[in-house]
Amino acid sequence: METDNKELKEETTKKEADKKETESKEETKQPVEETAVQKKKSKKWIGIVAAVVAVILLAYGGVAIYYQSHFLNHTYINNSDCSNMTATEVAAIMDQQSQQYSLQILGRDENGVQEEIGTITASEIGMYWVDTLNAAQELLDRQNEFLWIEMLWSTQNHDVVQGVSYDADKLQEQLAQMPALQNKNMIAPEDAYISEYSEKNKNYEIIPETMGIELNNNLVEEVVSTAIMQGDTTVDLEEQGCYETAKITAEDAALVKACDTMNKWVSAQITYDWNGNKVVVDGDTIHEWIQTDNKDPQLDEEAIEEFVAEQAKEYDTYGKKRKFTTVQGIELTLPSGAYGWKTDREEEVKELTASIEKGENIDKEPVYSSKGAQKGSDDIGNSYVEIDLTNQHLYLFQNGSIVLETDFVSGNMSKAGCMTPPGVFGLTYKTKNAVLRGADYETPVNYWMPFNGNVGMHDATWRGSFGGTIYLTSGSHGCVNLPLNMAAAIYEYVSTGFPVVCYYY
């Protein structure tokens, strides 16, 4: 039994082993069959895809070949849609575009406001674009036809600036018809300048330049021609510098400096005390002395000299006849000697000019070369020596009172050239112990007080008497001979410029 069971068990084990081997073989056989089928199917699909790709490539290439002679979709030339057009067709469009060309010419008015002064069209000047077919073909040759599919949803625009041809004579004719370019309508610019003196504001001011509307026609033609050649649709003549401009502006440094200088001069005020008379020199006077070409003002020296001379003539007393009332109450008109107010004209011109140039505001006297005892036409004052040549008597006044009087002997009336001259004089100087010399004399004196050249007062110790009629036949060489004590007393009162009045009646 055990043997049978063992055999049965072994038989069973063998069957199971055979079964497993069969199953194993079946499993190995199945993948091999499936792989073969799959390969067969893959080859089929590859063939299909290849066929499709071939078709697509053929179609793509065919379209690309088309675009070798046509512009791609969404191609714009000078803003015109040229999709799928040939170079010839685009050239025709460019020709049309050239005939639509116009140029707007802008200028300005006198106030600088921009305005249109004219428009030029292609037809008016016979303008056209040169060789548009070649230009279109060159543009077509540069395009990549294989990008046609990308251009289905993209856009590209080409701005083609083509050579231009036009009739220059016709352009000149068109420009000549524009009113702004006609001479009769042009207004020349004016330079900035310094105004006239304002008596109200006491000053000068700079008047700004004016723009004018004067065009340089030659430059306009050149600028317009350039704009046409470049295909510009507008040209601004102001921006291109076609307007004539003022040569001198309100900001001109030399002009500003000149105006400042002139205003400094007229700001001066010189108030004179001219021999007791008030004379004011201010801008109302000074402006008449300014000479200028707008850039180099000068003070008119001759005018200033004339002004000083006029004042001196009016107010100087030196050299003028005077009315004088004697001690006896007799009113005389006396010739003037070297006495009175005399303006040093040359020096005063210098001082006045300097004060104006500095813009000074001052009170002053003019420069005097000679002064009187007091200001005014009656410049003798109340302190003076009165010499009555008729009565041979001298009076010394001090502050209106006679402080001494004496007889004297004056020039010999019977001897030619010895008469003591009448007139009003000022003491030249005084000195002691002088020697008086003449052609035939040499006389020492203790007190010498000249007042008219070599004529003066001095002591005459050689005389025993004075006064009366001595002078008629035995007078001096022209001097006033005095007693020693009187000469000494007078010497103490007088000084340089002290008035000396001599008269006959």
pLDDT digits (tens, 9 = 90+) for 306-352: 999 999 999 999 999 999 999 999 999 999 888 999 999 999 999 99
Q: How confident is the model at residue 29 (pLDDT cuts 50, 70, 90)?
A: low
Q: How confident is the model at residue 23 (pLDDT cuts 50, 70, 90)?
A: low
d(CA 177, CA 106): 15
Average of pLDDT values for 124-129? 94
Q: What is the pLDDT of residue 418?
A: 97
Q: What is the pLDDT of residue 5?
A: 46
The answer to whether 240 and 185 are in contact (CB under 8 A) is no
d(CA 19, CA 12): 11
In the chain, ranges of CATH 2.40.440.10 domains = 382-501
3-state secondary structure labels for all residues of 274-318: ECCEEEEECHHHHHHHEECCCCCCEECHHHHHHHHHHHHHHHCCC
The answer to whether 181 and 220 are in contact (CB under 8 A) is yes
Per-residue pLDDT of 169-202, as tens digits, reads 999 999 999 999 999 999 999 999 999 999 999 9
Per-residue pLDDT of 366-399, as tens digits, reads 999 999 999 998 999 999 999 999 999 999 999 9
**Residues whose CB falls within 8 Å of the CB of residue 462, separated by 6 or more in sequence, listed in order:** none
Q: How confident is the model at residue 2 (pLDDT cuts 50, 70, 90)?
A: very low
Average of pLDDT values for 469-480? 98
Per-residue pLDDT of 257-308, as tens digits, reads 999 999 999 999 999 999 999 999 999 999 999 999 768 999 999 999 999 9
Q: Could you tell me the two tokens for 396?
A: 């010394």
d(CA 137, CA 54): 31
d(CA 422, CA 306): 32
State in Å, rounded, how far the first CA of the chain is from the last one: 215
Top-confidence residue, 275 or 59: 275
Residue 253, H or E segment: helix 253-266
Fold exhibited by the domain 252-314+337-368: Ubiquitin-like (UB roll) (3.10.20)
| Torsion, CA 299, CA 300, CA 301, CA 302, rounded to 10 | -170
User: What amino acid occupies position 17?
Assistant: A
DSSP code, position 419: S
d(CA 214, CA 183): 8
Fold exhibited by the domain 382-501: L,D-transpeptidase catalytic domain-like (2.40.440)
Q: What are phi and psi of 15, to 5 degrees?
A: -65, -40
In the chain, ranges of CATH 3.10.20.800 domains = 252-314+337-368
Q: Which of 240, 112, 109 is nearest to 185 (CA)?
A: 109
Top-confidence residue, 155 or 236: 236
Q: How confident is the model at residue 37 (pLDDT cuts 50, 70, 90)?
A: low
The answer to whether 425 and 453 are in contact (CB under 8 A) is no
State the burial class of residue 421 (Cβ atoms within 10 Å of its Cβ: 0-12, 13-18, 19+): middle
Q: How confident is the model at residue 26 (pLDDT cuts 50, 70, 90)?
A: low
Q: Which of 443, 504, 439 is nearest to 472 (CA)?
A: 504
Q: What is the pLDDT of residue 210?
A: 96
d(CA 202, CA 287): 9
Top-confidence residue, 441 or 358: 358
pLDDT above 90 coverage of the chain, percent: 76
What's the mean per-residue pLDDT of the chain? 91
Per-residue pLDDT of 66-96, as tens digits, reads 998 899 999 999 889 999 999 899 989 988 8
Per-residue pLDDT of 396-410, as tens digits, reads 999 999 999 999 999
| Torsion, CA 105, CA 109, CA 110, CA 111, rounded to 10 | -120
Q: How confident is the model at residue 27 (pLDDT cuts 50, 70, 90)?
A: low
The answer to whether 225 and 279 are in contact (CB under 8 A) is no
d(CA 500, CA 455): 12
d(CA 290, CA 297): 7
Q: Is 482 helix (H, G, I), strand (E, B) or coil?
A: strand
**Residues whose CB falls within 8 Å of the CB of residue 322, separated by 6 or more in sequence, listed in order:** 333, 334, 336, 377, 378, 380, 424
**Residues whose CB falls within 8 Å of the CB of residue 94, separated by 6 or more in sequence, listed in order:** 77, 78, 129, 132, 135, 136, 160, 162
The answer to whether 427 and 439 are in contact (CB under 8 A) is no
Average of pLDDT values for 228-252? 96
d(CA 408, CA 424): 18
Q: What is the pLDDT of residue 1?
A: 44
Q: What is the pLDDT of residue 180?
A: 97
Q: Which of the residue ranges 146-160, 220-234, 278-292, 305-319 would you say has the lowest mean pLDDT?
A: 146-160
